[in-house]
Amino acid sequence: MPARRSGPVHRKRRRDQAKRVEALRHRNSNPVRRAGSGWVAQRTIGVRPLDVWPAVPLRAFGLRTTSIKIPETFSLITHPNEAIATLETIRRAAGTPGIKSIELDYSGCTNLDLCASVVQDVIALRGKRQAAFRGSQVNFPGKFSKIDDVNLLLVTNGILKQLNHPISKALPPDLTSRLRFSNLKIGRPGPLYLSSEAEIAATELADFFDGVLRTEHYQLRPEWKANLIQLTAEVLDNVEQHAQGERSWHTIGYYKQDTKPDCGGECHIVLFNFGETIYESLNRPDTSGELKRQIRELASEHKNRALFTRLAENVGILTPLWEEESLWTLYALQEGVSRFMNKPEGIDRGNGSIKMLEFFAELVSSEPQMALVSGKTHILFDGRYRLSEVQIGTERRKIIAFNEANDLHERPDPRCVQTIRRHFPGTLVSLKFKIKSSDLAKVIGKLDAQD
């Protein structure tokens, strides 16, 4: 037998070989790997969790750390282009092999919304999972803001909470008594014989909102609560039914009561998924041909009337405010519109997103800020325009076209519906509104009068 070679180089080589053998043994013994192609596909998604947001890694040869400046306003409701650009940078850094530390610098951030915060957090969690599979790790240190409210969100329901940082568990009781949470929940389709994760998440969000109302000495009526659960479950169910690839979704809620008496508080609820946008799902082969025909005819009219050509100047660049993709997205939100129109699976199926926005707009009278972001479409629902019934053929349907005529044949108000420069790889619904007992009394009195 030849003599075994020694020396540091050969010892390292033997250690590396032993690790490879052990890794191979673990792979071959893993029942998920041997269970069939469907399980392998799920496993593949698990080991490259950042693939839901395709991006080119940073050109960072030898770079071990990087710092990302969070913008002054980090919000997908009011500043979608800036927020998505920042999230893209975080995604690129998290997927760059070799980077061990990504600093999130909030020192210049003065306004933080839960929607941008939670998408960032999910990217960070996925980045850590992907690095762990490579046998590496990536950390997310950071710098706090000078604004207390920004730091409060980061600690109580933001990145520090999601990373399980000890500071998020050491909060004084007088502070936590003013806060309500619906913790980040990630769901996927499950077996038909079990209650769906969508139903469970919808119930948890309804319980959360009911708890928020109770801080102002109100509560949801049983029929309102049931309606909210149904609408939320419908939004999440649409994700499961229409998405391809990783059909997961995310929900989260946050409420902060004002320190001043009788000033209420601010509530924020977010639902989102990565994957196909609304526009992309509508263009799939299994989408109803009749639906595609209707939208293409409408798009052709917009083109012929030059409605898609309005431009806005942004940093010296002329940017379209209204493109065909956004028309498809807006059309898909209307009552009675489904990818499965004229098919058995399309019966009684609608889009709950706009109905959910309307639900909160009716219940909250103080200037709601709600948005839907999908692909390059940004729709702001701020109370200027509401759902109203119109005659379509032989049917009466609720429509919201975001213009004075409430007509989908006309261009929507660019303050509310626009084509943005950046692309969000999925769909996000963000609801932000004030809760105040005096406003609730007026709204509930009005609703009682209608009953």
pLDDT value at residue 451: 56
Do 431 and 272 contact (CB within 8 A), yes or no? no
**What is the mean pLDDT of the segment spanning 167-188?**
90
Q: Which residues contact 129 (CB under 8 A, 6 or more apart)?
A: 46, 49
Using 50, 70 and 90 to split pLDDT, how confident is the model at 34?
very low
What are the sequence ranges of the domains in the chain?
Answer: 40-177, 179-451
Look over the chain and give the mean of its residue pLDDT values, rounded to a whole number: 81
Q: Are 96 and 88 in contact (CB under 8 A)?
A: no
Asked if 201 and 185 touch (Cβ cutoff 8 Å), the reply is yes
Q: What is the pLDDT of residue 82?
A: 97
Beta-strand runs (E) in 163-287: 179-187, 249-257, 265-274
If one counts every other C-beta atom within 10 angstroms of the C-beta of residue 432, the result is 23
pLDDT band at 288 (very low <50, low <70, confident <90, very high): confident
Contact 359, 228 (CB under 8 A): yes
The token pair that represents 98 in the structure block: 């070799």
Which whole-number Å values give the CA distances from 30 to 34, 35, 135, 227, 405, in the listed order? 7, 9, 17, 44, 60
224 C-beta neighbours (distance < 10 Å), count: 19
**How much of the chain exceeds pLDDT 70, in percent?**
77
Residue 382: is its pLDDT beyond 70? yes
369 band by pLDDT with thresholds 50, 70 and 90: confident
Provide the β-strand partners of residue 378. 373, 418
**Proportion of the chain above pLDDT 90, given as a percent:** 45
Largest CA distance in the chain: 96
Segment of 111-125, 213-227, 350-364 carrying the highest mean pLDDT: 111-125
Question: Which pLDDT value is given to residue 23?
Answer: 46
Q: How far apart are the first and last CA of the chain?
A: 94
Q: pLDDT tens-digit profile of 419-428? A: 999 999 999 9
> Tokens 């005529």 — which residue?
405
Q: Report the run of H or E that residue 65 belongs to, with start and end.
A: strand 65-69
262 Rama sector, left if φ>0, alpha if ψ -120 to 50, beta otherwise: left
Report the C-alpha gap between 382 and 77 in whole angstroms.
10
Could you say which of 3.30.750, 1.20.1070, 2.60.120, 1.20.140 is the CATH number of the domain covering 40-177? 3.30.750
Q: Does residue 37 register a pLDDT over 50?
A: no
pLDDT at residue number 298: 94
pLDDT in tens, 229-281: 888 888 887 776 666 666 789 999 999 998 887 888 999 999 999 988 999 98
